[in-house]
Amino acid sequence: MKEKVTEQSQELTLTILSNKIKSIYTKNSTRTACRIYKDGKIGISGCIGETDINELYKKAEQNLEYQIDYPVEQTKNLESHTKIDSCKISNREFYGKIENILKELSRLHPDYIVSNKVYLRQSDYSMENELGMDLSYSDKYILSSLFMKEKKSSEDNNAYFLAFLRDLDTERILEAITELMTAHSKSLTLPKEPLPLVLDDYLVTQIFNTELRADVFGTGSSLFHHQLGKEIFSKNFSLKINNNPIESFRSNFDMEGVITPENLSCLIKDGVIIRPFSDKRTSKLYGYENTGCGCGDYDSVPTLGRADIEIQPGEKTIKELLNGQIGILVYWASGGGFTPDGNFATSVQLSYLTDGKKLLGRLPKFVMKGSVYDIFGKNFIGMSKDKLYLRGDHNMFVTRMDIKPL
Amino acid sequence: MFSFPKNFYSDVRIEHNYSSLIRIKDGRLEEIKESTNTGAFIRLFDGEKWYYTSTTDLKSIDKELANLASFATPNPDINNHPVVLKFQKNTGDHCRFEKNSLKNISLHDKLVTTKEYCKIVETDPEINYWKVSYFDFNTVKEFLSSIGCNIKFDTQQSGISIAFRFGSGLESFMEFCQEASPCFENLKKKQNHVKEHIEKARNFYKNAQTIPGGDYTVVLSPDVTGVFAHESFGHKSEADDMLGDEEMIKEWEIGKRVGSEKLSIYDDGNIVGSGYTPFDDEGNRACKTTLIEKGILKGRLHNAETAATLNEEVTGNARALDFENIPIVRMTCTYIDKDPDMTKEELIEGVKYGIYIDTCKHGTGASTFTIAPSMAYLIENGKITKPVKFSVITGNVMKTLNEIDAVSNQIEIDESVGGGCGKQGQFPLPVGHGGPYIRIRKINVQ
């Protein structure tokens, strides 16, 4: 049985230095892989650039000699086409708008230097096979990665505006960056009283990407191995696989051509671990449901990788979750980690005090720490229904951890 | 030779990339593949802006050059531009791996070697999850420029990575180890290292205790020292962050004291291993660059543009992940220098109560650095005693560099493959790092 995977991308990258566009990179790239399935084995061959498909299939067939077991059913009779074309901007318009934003930022904030990169990306991805699988995903979006640094500062304490966007709304972007810069210029001391933390979920949910893998579960080596089916987190806490291309900026099908069924997308529901995440081969091996998490490069054998997981948004806004309190927006924290028994700690490089709507000022660096069971358990306040535009247009969750000045 | 457009500076970097990968998980062959691809990254400069494109159609390079020129403004004096004056006119074939290229070793041989490592973990009754992976790459680059640079060189690395888990639930522990070398034959001799690493991990799994957070004296192993050198100061030394930033340039003036007397840091792309970069992706030669000497800032890492702007010399540190990426200032092999007068044992004997970090999972760096440890131990009265677990060490880079009060007398450079540095999303760029054992008087542990 033959199967073809095609990835095409067109990208315009503008490098910005001191509020000016310094370089322009236009890239067109095509990657194609052919897969042959025979007698429970898989052979793959891939190529970057123009290629002869028949040659690729021939090589894929030759690669069956490596005897890679793939004893699962191929996806059949499944058609799905996602075309997200709300981002209509041309390369020329994009360049002009970015130039205008930079000029406006120079005018509004002469004390700041703006630098780094912005991208305009068209991404097309498709999978098809002889059994009637015909899947495609097409999306165009902007990635803003702007760093703003105070000219008078000799430290690399940048403010950032990092976001995936489908609309280059100049006014909204300027407003968000202005709010960030205004708060950034106002240095505050770290509050003595324990305040709730407002976080992007990626930072702390990374533990579920290692400990809820079906192979780790299946071999009995997960931190949560004995806790399947038990309520170990807050009733407000549910974790699901993000299967929505509009939110995730990726296709709704995985590298095995599986679209996660809605009823299998939830991994933790109301504080109870329901299932690990899996791909086809791991499901067959350990008997778990396949949640459509087959990953890999375009020319790789699909394998269980990272799941695109998110905390299920609740019914309250960030402000409502703070419930009249002031909170700490953790804007940038990296490099932390978990101990084997689930204790998390990280330094927080950039944070702001917030009332849930507005930023009130910048806080000094600090360390935050807590156990996974507390962060998503007794200390978990909730996941917001609203998104914070100035923090990547993401939903944010509110919890409590111990914090100490660095 | 290409038709480089007149009145511009332009260059072409052609890459012939080979890589192979084998992955065996819990005894099952999950993947085995070889990939080859060829492509070119093309740059054109008019004195104001850079224009870039990339292609896999090598026949189209002249057309692409002409197309880039059509967007730019001709500059008859471009060859006297300060940035262009920093480009070297190197020539010649500098390939060193042609005779023992990893391309020439069969996948079968690579599989046999990988399976030898599998035997170590698959027969261990206490390991309940494992994955053994083999990675390699061989890259041949040709670099040609409008001012006459015309070079060819190659790089390669191979390695085995082993991930394994002991236990379950709150008593589980996962550890990684890796053996790497540009020479495939060397990989066949490293099984004993892996066995020793697994025994250390088993002891850690069975005996590690949580310790309270706070400030500790910390000793780093050469491997962790390398990560620390890369994260704590290596990124600070990349000069692209200083462009257009007068305050940073003033703050980081050459000659300033930035660390203790014991601290010297170098970056050297000539060291054959993970960070080997004999020429950078602008055609400039690799240098041994002194970043810090006895605590004094002596240099930084440059591409042509940063060197021209800061009026310093190029260091051969413009590196791109592959032919689809823009070269930016990156480290090559960064290491802390040794102190001939102190042994590792003497260094540890000087600690009454502290922590020794043997292995780590990852690190990050800017003005604050972090290192997430994997295996660490308590030091009591000058002796390494019991294993301890905690999440992270972190601190202000400048304060911490001044807290280094001892370094040992032997350098070890870490060899790795499959991972690397991820600056500006260009991950994983192969880099090397290392150093001796170092002692830091005070560091925050959480």
Is domain B9-207 given the CATH code 3.30.2290.10 in the classification? yes
Which residues contact residue B311 at a Cβ distance below 8 angstroms, ignoring those fewer than 6 apart? none
**A12 shares its domain with A89:** yes
Mean pLDDT over residues A176-205, rounded? 93
A39 DSSP 8-state letter: T
**A104 shares its domain with A57:** yes
Domain limit, last residue, from A178, A204, A231: A178
**Single-letter code of the amino acid located at B167:** G
Q: Which domain does A321 fall in, by range?
A: 186-406
Rounded Cα distance between B307 and B427, Å, is 24
**A161 shares its domain with A299:** no
Mean of per-residue pLDDT scores for chain A: 95
Rounded Cα distance between B42 and B12, Å, is 5
pLDDT at A270: 98
**A102 shares its domain with A23:** yes
Contact check, Cβ <8 Å, A46/B35: yes
B1 has pLDDT over 90: no
**A165 shares its domain with A226:** no
pLDDT at A46: 96
Mean pLDDT over residues B10-29, rounded? 97
| pLDDT grade for B77, boundaries at 50, 70 and 90 | very high
B26 has pLDDT over 90: yes
pLDDT at B248: 84
Output A3 or B172, whichever has higher pLDDT: A3
User: How far from each other are the two terminal CA atoms of chain A, in whole angstroms?
Assistant: 58
Rounded Cα distance between B7 and B173, Å, is 61
What string of H, E and C letters represents the secondary structure of A253-317?
ECCCCCECCHHHCEEEECCEECCCECCHHHHHHHCCCCCCCEECCCCCCCEECCCCEEECCCCCC
Least CB–CB distance from A221: residue in B128, B245, B392: B128
Predicted-complex ipTM score: 0.94
Query: Residue A10's domain is classified under what CATH number?
Result: 3.30.2290.10
pLDDT at A157: 67
Rounded Cα distance between B119 and B122, Å, is 5
User: How far from each other are the two terminal CA atoms of chain B, in whole angstroms?
Assistant: 57
Q: Which of A155, A285, A368 to mutate to test the interface with B (most CBs of B within 10 A)?
A: A155
Rounded Cα distance between B300 and B236, Å, is 9
In contact, B43 and B8? CB cutoff 8 Å: no
Buried b / exposed e along A308-333 (16+ C-beta atoms within 10 A): bbbbbbbebbbbbbbeeeebbbbbbb
- Would an 8 Å CB–CB cutoff place B395 in contact with chain A? yes
- pLDDT tens-digit map of B336-368: 999 999 999 999 999 999 999 999 998 887 788
User: What are the structure tokens assigned to B159, written together?
Assistant: 């390695």
Residues from chain A that touch B246, judged by Cβ atoms under 8 A, are: 151
B429 has pLDDT over 80: yes
In contact, B242 and B248? CB cutoff 8 Å: yes
Chain A, window 373-402: residues with a beta carbon less than 8 angstroms from a chain B beta carbon: none
pLDDT at B367: 80
Domain limit, last residue, from A154, A178, A202: A178
Bond before B428 cis per omega within 30 degrees: yes
**A357 shares its domain with A400:** yes
Mean pLDDT over residues B41-54, rounded? 98
User: In degrees rounded to 5, what are phi and psi of residue A217?
Assistant: -65, -45
Contact check, Cβ <8 Å, A50/B49: no
Parallel/antiparallel/unpaired status of strands A197-200 and A133-150: unpaired
**A120 shares its domain with A250:** no
What percent of chain B is modeled with pLDDT above 90?
A: 90
- pLDDT tens-digit map of B105-146: 999 999 999 999 999 999 999 999 999 999 999 999 999 999
B369 has pLDDT over 80: yes
Domain limits of chain B? 9-207, 214-445
Domain limit, last residue, from A178, A196, A225: A178
Q: Count the alpha carbons within 13 Å of A271 in the hemisphere toward its beta carbon.
A: 17
| pLDDT grade for A85, boundaries at 50, 70 and 90 | very high
Least CB–CB distance from A156: residue in B49, B367, B389: B367
**A12 shares its domain with A147:** yes
Output A337 or A384, whichever has higher pLDDT: A384
**A190 shares its domain with A84:** no
Mean pLDDT over residues A239-249, rounded? 94
Helix (H) / strand (E) element for B297: namely: strand B296-297
What's the burial of A171, exposed, middle or buried (CB within 10 Å: 0-12/13-18/19+)? exposed
- pLDDT tens-digit map of A136-170: 999 999 999 999 998 888 776 689 999 999 999 99
**A247 shares its domain with A381:** yes
Mean pLDDT over residues B279-299, rounded? 97
For chain A, the domain total comes to 2
| pLDDT grade for B249, boundaries at 50, 70 and 90 | confident
B430 has pLDDT over 70: yes
**A133 shares its domain with A243:** no
- pLDDT tens-digit map of A344-382: 999 999 999 999 999 999 999 999 999 999 999 999 999
